[in-house]
Each structure stands twice: as C-alpha cells, then as structure tokens.
Amino acid sequence: SLKLTKLPKLVNLPEGLQHVTTLQSLRVKSCGNFKALPQWLYSLSSLQSLELLRCSELKSLPEVLRRMNSLTELVIYCCNDELSDRCREPDGEDCPKIRHISQLHIT
C-alpha cells in the first residue's frame, strides 16, 4: 500500500514506482498539481485499488486502465469536474476504460 498525500509539487507518479510490481493499493490525495496517470501504470500488475482524491488537475484517465485486470476498485473523489463527467455512464469518454472495474466510486 502506498499513500501520496498533500504533495503540492507532485505532477506525475515517480517513475521508479513502475518497478514495484507487488503494490496492491495506491492512493493519491490532495495533490493539487497532479496531472496524469502514466501509461506504465500497467506494469503494476498486482494493483487492486486505486484512489484519486482531491486531485483538481487530473482531467482524464489513461487508456492503459482498460487492460488492468487486477484492478477491482477505483475511487475518484472531489477531483476535476471534467474527469467526473468523462467517467459517467453511459457515454462518458473514459467509461470504456473503467467498465471492467467491479467497485467504482465517482463523486
């Protein structure tokens, strides 16, 4: 489990994190300049839970989420309104990327 909280200078996940293939839970909270999840997120093959909380600059989800079969929970809370809209069924642009995730919490 890794929690990145209140890191105003965090724009992207640290690249070294892609080698932590046993990571099961990742939370990014109150990181106001966090802009994007990387394509290498797919290398976190054990990741089951991803929480994105109060990340106001995050506006979309990467295509790679579609292939992350181990991911069973995605929480998006108080992020950018554009991101919330993109994740809303039935026709949000990011819906096809996350449809396979059994526990979706988007507010």
**2-106 maps to CATH 3.80.10.10:** yes
pLDDT single digits (tens) 50-102: 999 999 999 999 999 999 999 999 999 999 999 999 998 888 999 999 999 99
What's the pTM?
0.94
Domain boundaries, the chain: 2-106
Torsion of CA 28, 29, 30, 31, to 10 degrees: -10
3-state secondary structure 52-79: EECCCCCCCCCHHHHHCCCCCEEEEECC
Cα–Cα distance, 104 to 50 (Å, whole number): 10
